[in-house]
């Protein structure tokens, strides 16, 4: 069965406004947390995603580095966009 990520939390972690680089920590329904690297210009684009190693990967079950989340990053990004999470967290920053 394909893994379907569901975003439950989205937080600003770090950013460089001048460069337009932003890091967010996204939490998924199954407790998985990932750091997402975004480039703001010319439009919000995901540059990278890393699973935080607090829980094993939900896809391959490894508890160390793997690339699985890169395969579902488009789905995560779609939820971030649909729910306007970036503008929401930036307005609170």
Q: Which is nearer to Zn ion, 20 or 58 (CB)?
A: 58
Q: Which is nearer to Zn ion, 45 or 55 (CB)?
A: 55
Q: Which is nearer to Zn ion, 57 or 72 (CB)?
A: 57
Cβ 73 to Zn ion shortest distance, Å? 13
Q: Which residue is associated with the tokens 């391959």? A: 60
Q: Which is nearer to Zn ion, 60 or 78 (CB)?
A: 60
Paired tokens of 77: 């990004």
25 burial class (0-12, 13-18, 19+ CB within 10 angstroms)?
middle
DSSP assignment string, 16-79: ETTTTEEEEEEEETTS-EEEEEEE-SSS-EEEEEEE-TTS--TTT--SS--SHHHHHHHHHHHH
Cβ 28 to Zn ion shortest distance, Å? 13
Residues that bind Zn ion in the complex, under the rule CB under 5 A: 57, 59-60, 66, 68
Cβ 5 to Zn ion shortest distance, Å? 12
Cβ 50 to Zn ion shortest distance, Å? 11
């Amino acid at each position: 069965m394909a893994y379907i990520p569901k975003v439950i939390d989205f937080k600003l972690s770090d950013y460089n406004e001048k460069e337009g680089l932003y890091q967010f920590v996204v939490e998924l329904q199954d407790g998985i947390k990932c750091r997402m690297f975004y480039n703001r210009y010319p439009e919000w684009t995901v540059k990278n995603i890393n699973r935080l190693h607090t829980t094993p990967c939900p896809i391959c079950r490894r508890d160390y580095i793997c690339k699985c989340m890169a395969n579902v990053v488009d789905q995560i990004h779609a939820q971030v966009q649909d729910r306007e999470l970036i503008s929401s967290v930036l307005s609170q920053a």
